[in-house]
């Protein structure tokens, strides 16, 4: 599991400050149009959640070295996922929106406003869905463990009820007679 400090530094460097390997080699943004950032931030949350769940550095590596290695690996993975995967998703959404909006008879200002807000809505919905699926998938092993434990408890209760309730099912007068016989 990646350290939270390494993830925090990686998110700060990549997403807040904007240091990126990709932008050094290929200047520019994902899309030519200004696009909303909320979907991108939600996708960043997905990547950070996956990175937090995966062990990046084996045990036994000195702390400072491990922190530097984890930070650089997290930056690289964030950069790769955001520039290659999210830019593709954003580009597909943008092409679909432009294709649909070109059919509608609107003026240029309305077209740009519809384009921006439709892209904001769709990328946010996609980001929320991806984050939900990621968090659900990461919690699946714990949920399965909890369900298995709950199932074992229920089986144990049922088995105990079957086995031990049969012993207490004798009629009450018979118990009183045996207690009187024992006392006599």
Residue 164 in any domain: the answer is no
- Note the pLDDT tens digit of each residue in 130-184: 999 988 888 877 877 888 888 889 998 888 888 887 655 455 555 556 556 655 5
The per-residue DSSP string of the chain comes to ---HHHHHHHHIIIIII---HHHHHS-S-SSSS---SHHHHHHHHHHHHHHHHS--S-TTS-HHHHHHHHHHHHHHHHHHIIIIIIHHHHHHHHHHHHHHHTTS---HHHHHHHHHHHHHHHHHHHHHHHHHHHHHHHHHHHHHHHHHHHHHHHHHHHHHHHHHHTGGGS-HHHHHHHHHHHH-
In the chain, the number of structural domains is 1
Domain extent, residue 71, equals: 4-140
pTM, whole model, 2 decimals? 0.68
Q: Is residue 60 part of a domain?
A: yes
Is 127 contained in some domain? yes
């Amino acid at each position: 599991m990646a350290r939270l400090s390494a993830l925090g530094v990686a998110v700060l460097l990549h997403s807040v400050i904007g240091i990126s390997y990709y932008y050094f080699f290929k200047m520019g943004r994902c899309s030519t149009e200004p696009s909303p950032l909320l979907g991108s931030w939600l996708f960043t949350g997905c990547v950070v959640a996956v990175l937090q769940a995966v062990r990046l550095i084996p045990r036994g590596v000195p702390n400072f070295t491990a922190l530097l290695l984890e930070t650089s690996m997290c930056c690289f993975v964030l950069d790769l996922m955001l520039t290659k995967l999210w830019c593709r998703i954003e580009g597909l959404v943008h092409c679909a929106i432009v294709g649909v909006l070109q059919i509608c008879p609107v003026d240029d200002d309305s077209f740009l406003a519809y384009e921006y807000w439709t892209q904001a809505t769709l990328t946010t919905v996609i980001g929320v869905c991806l984050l939900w699926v990621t968090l659900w998938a990461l919690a699946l092993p714990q949920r399965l463990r909890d369900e298995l434990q709950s199932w074992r408890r229920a089986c144990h209760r049922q088995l105990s009820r079957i086995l031990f309730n049969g012993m207490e099912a004798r009629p009450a007068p018979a118990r009183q007679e045996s207690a009187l016989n024992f006392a006599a």
